[in-house]
Structure 1
Amino acid sequence: MSRDWPTVALRDLCSIARGGSPRPIKNFITNDPDGINWIKIGDTQKGGRYIDSTAEKITPAGVSRSRFVDSGSFLLSNSMSFGRPYILRASGCIHDGWLVLEPDYNRVDQDFLYHVLGSRTVFDQFDSLAAGSTVRNLNIGLVKGVEIPLPPLEEQRRIVAVLDEAFEGLGRARAHTEANLQNARELFGSELVSVCKTHAEQYGTIPLAGLSEEITDGDHMPPPKAQEGVPFVTIKNINKETHAIDFSDTFKVPESYYQELKDKRKPKVGDVLYTVTGSFGIPVMVQPDQRFCFQRHIGLIRPKRDVSPEWLYFVLASPFVFEQADAGATGTAQRTVSLKLLRTMLVPDVPPELQSAIANRFRGIHSEARRLAVSYQAKLQDLDDLRQSLLQKAFAGKLT
C-alpha cells in the first residue's frame, strides 16, 4: 500500500449491520406481486459487481424479521463465499449471510470501495479473520477491523476509471475464453453422441445386460470402519470432471469384511463403475492395482470377455446413454437409476472386433478436448492473475 495514503479501518469509514432471516423461511417465500425481493448469495454473478434482481420474494410480513436495504446499498457476503462485495441495483431484504455497509461517501467513492474490497490484499485479511471450520464466516466485529488504503477522492475516482477500462477489456477476454472452454468441453460429448447414434442405426442396439457378465451394485448394509484395511468408495470419492476415483478421502473397512463380499461386488480391472444415485450417470474405468469396495449408490458393470471395457466406458459416458438414465431415473430429493433400468438401457451393438478401434478414436478426441480445456482454464487463471496484479498496483499507488 502507498506510504503517502493513510490506512483506515472500516469501522472508521462505514457503519456495518447484519441481515436477518425470518424463520422458518419457507413460510415467508411468496410469488405474490407485492412480495419483497429476497436477496441471496445465489443472486450474484461470478465476478459481477451488481445485484439486479432476485430469484425469490418474501411476504411483507417477513420484512420486520429481516433487514430491508435500498437500491444502491453496499453488501458484503459474510458466510460461505465470504468477503465478496456487491452493489445493489434493486431494493429488498437481506438474510444473515450478508452485511450491509453504509460508507461515508464524502470520504470514499463507492466503486473504489468495491475494487479495494475485491483485492487480494483485503481478501487475505478476511481470510485470516474468518471463523469456523466447516462453514467459515465473518462477523461485524471482524470486518470493522479490516484496513484499506484511502487516497484522496479525486485519486480514488482516477483509479476507478483506469481499473474499469482495463477490466472491461479483461471481461471481454474472459467471456471469449469461457465460450472456448465450453466448446472444448462439449466437443467430446457431441462426438460421442454422433458416433453412438450412427452406430445404433448401423448395427442396431442391445440392452446393456446383453454385453455384461454381471450388473450389480455395492453392499446395501452399512460397512464397518477400520483404521487400516481396504478403501471403501462412495459417490463423493468420484471426480465428476475426470471420471476417476479419489482415494485420498476414502475410509477403510476391515480386510475380513472385504473377503466376505461376493466376487461380483469386488471390482477388478475391466469393470466399469456407474454412479446410480444423486450425481448419477458417471462411468469410471477400474484401473490396475485398485483394490477397493464400494457403496450401493454405485453400480458395477462387468463386460463379457469379448467386449472392450474402454469402448463400453466411452459409450456409458455419452449423452446417448445419459439421456436414457435421466429419463428413467426415479425420486425427487435424490434421483436414482435402478439396476433394472441400468440393465435395460440400450447401447449400440457394435461388433467386438471393431470396438477397440472405436475406443482408440474416442480416446484421441477426449485427449484433445482435455488439452484444449486445460489450455483455456490456464488462460482464465492468467486473466484472474492480471486482474489482481492491477488491483495490487492500484492500491500501492503504482497505477499510471
Structure 2
Amino acid sequence: MEQVLYSLPDGWEWQELADVVVKTENLNPLKHADQLWTYIDISSVDRDRFAVTDPKEILGKDAPSRAKKHVQLNDVIFATTRPNLKNIALVRDEYSSPVASTGFCVLRANKKVLPAYLFYFVTTDFVQAQIEPYVGGASYPAITDGNLKKAPIPIPSIEEQNRIVEKLDALLTRIDTAIEHLQESVTLADALSKNGLSEIFESLKDRYEVVPLSSVVKINSGIALPKLFKNGFSDGDIPFFKVAQMNNHHENMVKPEITFNETVAKEHKIKLFPKGSTLIPKRGGAILTNKKRMLLEDASYDSNIMGLKADESKISDEYLFAFMRTIDLANFVDASTIPQVNNKHIDQMQIPLASIEEQADVVSRVNLLVKKVETMNSEIQRQLDDLQALKSSILDSAFKGEL
C-alpha cells in the first residue's frame, strides 16, 4: 500500500511497528488447570481511558479458548477486531499469571522505543487511518497482527521519546481529569432528572387514585417480521419499525428502514398499531437500555417491541409517555436468560389517575425538566468533544516533533 507520510524533524526516522517490537508467545492455561490466571479480554479494556480496568481471575480449567496471549508489564495490547479497534491499553500493573485474548495484538517494545511512547502512538488517529485499508472480513472485520505491525511509526532518540512521554503524561492527565469531571456531571444531571420526574408523579399520589397501568392502556405486542420484509422493502409511506431503530437519541420513532402501503398491508395481513402509542423494548438486552419512544403515525413494528396506547377517556398519550419516563424497565424484567417484559409487568406499574387538566400541566412540567437536562447534557457533550479533539491535536503534534 502506498503510504503518504509527513516530514520528520532531523534525527527522526520512519520505521514499521514490526521493527520496534519483539516476538511474543502464546500460552495454554488449560494445561495448568488448577492455576489461577488473570485474564484480560476485550471488555477488560476501557476504550475511553485506554486502560485495563476489569481483568478477570480464572482457573486454567475455566479459561476460554481465546485466552492464549502472554502479556507482561509494559506490553501494549491492541484489539484487532472492529468495532473494538480503539480498545488499546498499556499494561501498567503486574498481574498474577496474566493472559490476554487472541483478539489482541501484543506489542512488546524493543530497545528502539519506550513502551509509553509506543502506547501513545498507537492510540492516534494516524494509526487508525494507516490500518483501515487492512481491515477485512464482512461478517467479522478484523486486522491481522502482521498487518497492524506494518503501520509506520516515527522514531526519535530515546531521550526525545522520554521528553515527549513526560509532556504527554502531564497534558493528557489534566485533560482526562477534566473529562472525568464532565462525565460525572452527566451522571449527576441524569440522576437529578430521574429524581425530579419521580417527585412530580409521587406528588400526585396524595390527591388522585393510583391504578395499575394496564387498566388505562391497551397493550399491543409487535408482530413477527413478515417474510416479504426479510430482505428489506420500500413501497409506500407506512413504516415498519424494528427494535434496533430505538437505538438513537430521538424520542419518537423515525427513519424506518422498511415502508409499505395499504394494499400490501391488506394482502399480507400486516397489523397496524395506532399513532400516539408509547413503545418499549419487549425482550433482549434492549430492555436494559430503558428506551421509550412515541409513535407519531399508524405503523407496524416487530415482536421485540411492545406498544402501550392510552385509553384517552382516562389519560392522554402525552401523560402516558411522561409517566413511562419514570419507569426503569430493568426493575420489571423476568430474571431469565433473555430479559423480557410481559403484560404482567405492565400490571405492576402504578399510575396516578390525575384529572385531564392536571395531566396537561404534568406533561408541561416534565417536558420542561427534560429539555433543561438535554440542554445541559448537550453543552457537556460539546465540551467533551472539544477535549477529545484537543487530545487528538496534542498527540498529532507530539509525533510530528512539534510538542
- Matching of residues 6-17 of structure 1 within 5 Å: 6-17=13-24
Provide the residue aligned with 2:245 in structure 1: 237
Question: 1:347-395 CA deviation, whole Å, 9 max, x = no partner?
Answer: 1121122101110111111111101111111111110100011111111
Deviation larger for 214-223 or 199-208 = 214-223
- Matching of residues 1-400 of structure 1 within 5 Å: 1=6, 2-4=8-10, 5-17=12-24, 34-51=35-52, 54-59=55-60, 66-80=68-82, 81-82=84-85, 84-88=87-91, 89=93, 90=95, 91-104=97-110, 106-212=111-217, 214-220=218-224, 222-225=226-229, 226-229=233-236, 230-239=238-247, 241-248=249-256, 250-252=257-259, 255-259=262-266, 265-278=271-284, 279-280=286-287, 281-287=290-296, 290-306=297-313, 307-318=315-326, 321-322=327-328, 325-330=329-334, 332-399=336-403
Distance 2:87 2:332 in 1: 40
Residues 185 and 370, structure 1, Cα contact 8 Å, conserved in 2: no
Q: What stretches of structure 1 of length at least 5 have no aligned partner?
A: none
Residues 29 and 56, structure 1, Cα contact 8 Å, conserved in 2: no
What secondary structure does 1:202 align onto?
coil
Distance 1:50 1:252 in 2: 44
Distance 1:257 1:340 in 2: 33
Distance 1:19 1:378 in 2: 43
Distance 2:42 2:162 in 1: 28
Deviation larger for 55-64 or 294-303 = 55-64
Q: How many residues align?
A: 383
Question: 1:82-127 CA deviation, whole Å, 9 max, x = no partner?
Answer: 25432222241122101112221x2111111111111111221122
Name the aligned partner's letter for residue 219 of structure 1.
I
The structure-2 alpha-carbon separation of the partners of 1:316 and 1:19, relative to structure 1 and needing over 3 Å to count, comes to farther
User: Percent identical across equivalent pairs?
Assistant: 20
Distance 2:212 2:63 in 1: 54
The structure-2 alpha-carbon separation of the partners of 1:171 and 1:204, relative to structure 1 and needing over 3 Å to count, comes to same
What secondary structure does 2:205 align onto?
helix
Distance 1:271 1:261 in 2: 23
Residues 329 and 337, structure 1, Cα contact 8 Å, conserved in 2: yes
Distance 1:260 1:348 in 2: 42
The structure-2 alpha-carbon separation of the partners of 1:118 and 1:18, relative to structure 1 and needing over 3 Å to count, comes to farther
Question: 1:29-69 CA deviation, whole Å, 9 max, x = no partner?
Answer: 99x7x321111111112333443651242416969972332
TM-score by length of 2: 0.85
TM-score by length of 1: 0.86
Name the aligned partner's letter for residue 324 of structure 2.
L
Residues 63 and 93, structure 1, Cα contact 8 Å, conserved in 2: no
Residues 224 and 303, structure 2, Cα contact 8 Å, conserved in 1: yes
Distance 1:166 1:311 in 2: 49
Alignment RMSD (CA, Å): 2.9
Residues 235 and 259, structure 2, Cα contact 8 Å, conserved in 1: yes
Provide the residue aligned with 2:3 in structure 1: none
Name the aligned partner's letter for residue 318 of structure 2.
E
How far apart are 1:155 and its partner, in Å?
0.6
The structure-2 alpha-carbon separation of the partners of 1:86 and 1:384, relative to structure 1 and needing over 3 Å to count, comes to same
Distance 1:29 1:336 in 2: 40
